[in-house]
Structure 1
């Protein structure tokens, strides 16, 4: 176990080096004696730390942590308390200096809460750590690093516990809108009333009315008592409810993932999509989900079961962590290096090429190590686009372990229009045709939408009702430039709304996040 100098150790070594240097230059026995006295405590502390490695052995500590949520949802931008438990079964005290957490760039740790007290022998330490998630999605705390001080405090031992902790963080707008459907600014929220088939005598559903008996009506549906009172045959007519099929298409591109002042358009779009899914499921309809960029990235088939809402929510949170080849800016060889460094740090698996002076991870060795570790069932079932099977496996591993990959900075309106066209084709797919298409996008370029006029006409010909939901405007600035940009954006959306309404599309705006 390697020793690391602490802040006090650095000061002591620097002081001893300065005294030794001045003593040698001045040929002063006094300064040399003081240098020896200054170097004695760090040297003794290093010998004590090396001579007693059992005190700092990682296997003698037991560590566990979990999110202290108390039943509430985790929201982006709000601190989250992590309940840490450290158990010391040995007979000697372990002076814990501080702790560090290994996480991605979307999590910020409160350093004041990572100061831990010394752990007495045979005792258990319970402590609350505070971290703040900056973005929604499934965030992973990869592990915890404990710094154990030596007896005199000049050195520290580095103990790392690779215990991943997953946090499912929702956007701020989810908290107020997830339990119930939200209200629109211009239109009524929620799905349209369910279609009702023509009343047929003998259908096994709700009673609609009692009418005169007609030829062909089944005799078992004759209302005998009302017929006796009326003096003629009356038949009970029932009606059946046909559930509607809703397809919610959400744009998950770099344009909607980009954050400005801590907010992204995808936050409002995801909250709106989840609210519409909840409203449709409560009405007894079927809901499907489609996430698109320049193509359909992920597709959930329409269903009306209890698990549909949870599946929709999980897919929307996974949209914050893209891993596909055409949505991320990481080639296959660079991805292998990223995963190889992760395996070396967190799993202690060596995959580097055995060449002196070269720190290059073998791609196939990395893939074999990932196969030995295995994937979670959700990550193994995920359809991921990669250059080859090994690349797709590594991308699933990044999704499973929460390894962040840079997103392609692609904001071209043409490529985003291709994703909208793919979503329209998914809504009109034979055998799974949707009755309602809810398109949630941030594209307000009228020229790009003009190329989609044939697709909108095709949806209208197939009697597919389309709703276009735009995110709210971004954060307002106080300078004149922001006011001009907001005015131009509002005018562009107004022109787009008029054009879409002329093509039979209902246009609404998602509510502004809380």
Structure 2
């Protein structure tokens, strides 16, 4: 019901009362006819809306293919097409169709809403979006708005066609893995030899007795004649380098908006290293750690292993257990916006009404009313008992957890728009990471590369267990590379370059705050670099191509059996 309809009802009621009190039959009949006409218009509008709603069909396509068959990639553009089919027999005003664009994507062009004329029986919405990060992309559904020709009644419905699509992490296609220092004339350390195995190379490895199944062309006939028995040549072949990626997925790396989290940097580095290493014939394994435990996989090679790595990173990013957020007013307003858009029928006052409340409510009681309505809606949607529903209305912790679940199921940015109830730091994170490093070293073979990708800037516990694990790995002739992501800092840049005299006071404050944040991060980085280098690890405080090149350079050195002096980074 719109304000226009409310005004007509008020006019009809007042006119009817005035006609009865003043004995004006014409005014009373005219006012009563207005009310009767509004009643029959409302009945016809309800019948028409229900008829159209039961015959609506929606189909979603991505790049011209059904959305269920598509695989998405982070940092890539996709074209989304939504085809809406309406009943051919319709009466009344146009129908407004609005597609719910997930927050994990950025709309670049096109329109995600349209008004369908009452003569048209179908509508096609086409728009382009950019996938911001790896994980899960959720399309909750489509919103419809029905209205009568006179603009008296409005009905909103949500076509719930929840679609979950997996978004794989992006990776660098070309990375220069060669070190930028001189490698000629470098002599291996004592006890370090070039990794070799029997194969089909060009250098002779050894001679052995002939065994059934050996190719005849590998028989050394001259040696066989001297020894009076068949001998077979074995040629050397390089052993593929084994890399193990240890990724930190705790809550501190998951805070922030889509594409701006430190976990997104780690996914980019891990996928790029895996792509380059597997393309060179090396083996890549991983150990993904978060609050839910550790997911491991032994090093393996081939295209199948690479896509298994991408699938594991995407699932690891999407299906994580986050700490419960703190119940705040902004969290309540976010839940209210989602409920009003996704469940308009359950938010109507005649369905979700609070008993013993009188209109109008004072301003300080509106938040309480919204909380009671959201609690009742969550009890129906999440299938909670009456006791649990009542607990949502009065317990802040239970309400925050239920709202977090609602936001995640609706594709809402629950990481960047909500604050954790407590500090996201995990006191046992560094010891757990150190134990996983030691376990990987115990299962490793000779000369492997361990890539430790974790957030050291937020580590509030002692780093001695991690440093001891690094020293154990180095003592067993392994190479350790530590990749630490840094918070995404948007440094303010003026349009006129270095001229800061034209900046406004607010812009100067933003510039000062940006520089202060960068200095604080640099001050934290220096002592961490010194400690890790003393333990024998290579360090990169970045999540870009520089870190990828460092890992690939170490893998190349392991394959050649040579060593280089550590360069300052």
TM-score for the superposition, normalised by structure 2: 0.61
Indicate the residue corresponding to 2:315 in structure 1.
Answer: 318
Q: How does 1:5-84 map to 2 (within 5 A)?
A: 5=1, 9-14=2-7, 16-17=9-10, 20=13, 42-52=38-48, 55-58=51-54, 60-68=55-63, 75=74, 81-84=79-82
What is the DSSP-based 3-state SS (H/G/I as helix, E as strand, rest coil) of the residue aligned with 1:240? strand
Shift of 1:241: 3.3
Indicate the residue corresponding to 2:274 in structure 1.
Answer: 277
Cα deviations across residues 327-378 of structure 1 (Å, max 9, x unaligned)?
A: 43289xxxxxx9xx99xx89x9xxxxxxx989485999779xxxxxxxxxxx
Query: Gapped runs of 5+ residues in structure 2?
Result: 183-192, 327-334, 346-353, 356-374, 386-403, 493-509, 546-569
The equivalent position to 1:427 in structure 2, one of 432, 440, 448, is: 440
Indicate the residue corresponding to 1:380 in structure 2.
Answer: none
- Say if 1:456 and 1:503, in contact at 8 Å, map to a contact too: yes
> Within the alignment, does 1:455 sit opposite 2:469 as a pair?
yes
Query: Gapped runs of 5+ residues in structure 1?
Result: 189-194, 332-337, 349-355, 368-394
- Say if 1:65 and 1:82, in contact at 8 Å, map to a contact too: yes
Shift of 1:243: 2.6
Cα deviations across residues 20-72 of structure 1 (Å, max 9, x unaligned)?
A: 559868978799788667656643421322344663241x2222112348999
The equivalent position to 1:206 in structure 2, one of 189, 200, 205, is: 200
Shift of 1:118: 2.2
Shift of 1:113: 3.1
- Say if 2:60 and 2:80, in contact at 8 Å, map to a contact too: yes
Indicate the residue corresponding to 2:173 in structure 1.
Answer: 179
Q: 1:102 to 1:12 in 2, by over 3 A?
A: same
CA RMSD, 1 decimal: 5.1
> Within the alignment, does 1:489 sit opposite 2:521 as a pair?
yes
Give me the whole-angstrom Cα distance separating, in 2, the residues matched to 1:96 and 1:456: 67
Shift of 1:508: 2.2
- Say if 2:92 and 2:149, in contact at 8 Å, map to a contact too: no
Cα deviations across residues 262-282 of structure 1 (Å, max 9, x unaligned)?
A: 622122211011000111211
Give me the whole-angstrom Cα distance separating, in 1, the residues matched to 2:96 and 2:245: 47
Indicate the residue corresponding to 1:138 in structure 2.
Answer: 136
Indicate the residue corresponding to 2:533 in structure 1.
Answer: 501
The equivalent position to 1:247 in structure 2, one of 244, 249, 257, is: 244
Cα deviations across residues 380-418 of structure 1 (Å, max 9, x unaligned)?
A: xxxxxxxxxxxxxxx999999968877955443733313
What is the DSSP-based 3-state SS (H/G/I as helix, E as strand, rest coil) of the residue aligned with 2:455? coil
Q: How does 1:3-402 map to 2 (within 5 A)?
A: 5=1, 9-14=2-7, 16-17=9-10, 20=13, 42-52=38-48, 55-58=51-54, 60-68=55-63, 75=74, 81-92=79-90, 96-101=94-99, 106=104, 113-118=112-117, 120=119, 123-129=121-127, 136-169=134-167, 174=170, 177-181=171-175, 197-198=195-196, 203=198, 205-209=199-203, 218=210, 221-223=218-220, 236-259=233-256, 263-293=260-290, 296-324=293-321, 327-329=322-324, 359=376, 361=379
What is the DSSP-based 3-state SS (H/G/I as helix, E as strand, rest coil) of the residue aligned with 1:414? coil
Shift of 1:100: 4.0
Indicate the residue corresponding to 1:376 in structure 2.
Answer: none
- Say if 2:72 and 2:165, in contact at 8 Å, map to a contact too: no
Shift of 1:464: 2.9
What is the DSSP-based 3-state SS (H/G/I as helix, E as strand, rest coil) of the residue aligned with 1:147? strand
TM-score for the superposition, normalised by structure 1: 0.67
- Say if 2:244 and 2:285, in contact at 8 Å, map to a contact too: yes
- Matched residues, number: 439
- Say if 1:294 and 1:417, in contact at 8 Å, map to a contact too: no
Give me the whole-angstrom Cα distance separating, in 2, the residues matched to 1:300 and 1:399: 28
Cα deviations across residues 396-455 of structure 1 (Å, max 9, x unaligned)?
A: 999999688779554437333134224313422437898221111221359632342222
